[in-house]
Amino acid sequence: MDNRVRVLEVRNVTRRFGGLVAVNDMSFDVHEQEVMGLIGPNGSGKTTMMNLISGALRVSGGDIMMDDQLISDMPARHIARAGVARTFQLVRMLPTMTALENVMAGAVFGHKKLWGRALQVHAMRQLERVGMGTSAHLPTSALTYIDQKRVELARALAANPRIILLDEWLAGLNPTELRTGIELIADLRAEGRTIILVEHVMDAIRSLCDRCVVMNTGRKIAEGTPAEVLSDDEVIRAYLGD
């Protein structure tokens, strides 16, 4: 019997944009302490799927459950409270606010309610966690790109999420930064965080993911370990056709 704890359940989810079916009857589970890679060629529906989970977009059909609670009919802020945190493909932060203030903002909207001094201490701990403790009082606009990404990760962690959605968090990093970034995610994995990783960097997928779901033209075309899906004929064809 499968005794892993299911955190997220996506059941027959579809999303249409006019005549275009961006996500087509997708179903998958994410288990506690698992890093699940959501991969596929450009335009296959990955970002749309992330937006449906976080509530930035509404489903056209199907259900998304979080800890057996229906979240796909909730507004995004309630989904965040239920324990879904995300980072964005392009860093989205309040540039004039300090790193610490940005992370505190993440905690306020998150899963666990904290105020005042406790909030500040908690936010500081998350910054230290990603190696940004000494930059806590700098405005995020003064930080390098990778450091902004670290702060964004700290902000997601600050929400004490049940699941973290990392949408191409490694995109745009140079090779040295990429190694640092992969190590950082590996640390989160070792801590037993539950993560959905949307990623193009194959090295990251191979080294970080326990399991992958592969999308093409809105549909799931494969599911399995990175080694299994990356040697699957249909997956190879989908990528070559990209």
Closer Cβ to ligand ADP, 20 or 202, answer by number: 20
| Distance of closest approach, residue 60 Cβ to ligand ADP, in angstroms | 12
Q: Which residues bind ligand ADP (CB under 6 A)?
A: 17, 20, 22, 40, 42-48
Looking at the Cβ atoms of 18 and 192, the one nearer to ligand ADP is 18
In the complex, least distance from residue 6 CB atom to ligand ADP, rounded to whole angstroms: 24
Question: How far apart are alpha carbons 158 and 82 in whole angstroms?
Answer: 14
Q: Which is nearer to ligand ADP, 40 or 106 (CB)?
A: 40
Q: What dihedral do alpha carbons 187, 193, 194, 200 form, nearest 10°?
A: -20
Whose Cβ is closer to ligand ADP: residue 47's or residue 135's? Answer: 47
- In angstroms, what is the minimal distance from the CB of 65 to ligand ADP? 21
Least CB distance to ligand ADP at residue 24 (A):
10
At its nearest, how many Å lie between ligand ADP and the CB of residue 25? 14
Closest CA relative to residue 206, chosen from 188, 229, 178: 229
Q: Which is nearer to ligand ADP, 42 or 176 (by Cβ)? A: 42
For ligand ADP, the closer of residues 59 and 105 by Cβ is: 59
Please state the closest distance from residue 155 (CB atom) to ligand ADP, in A.
Answer: 22
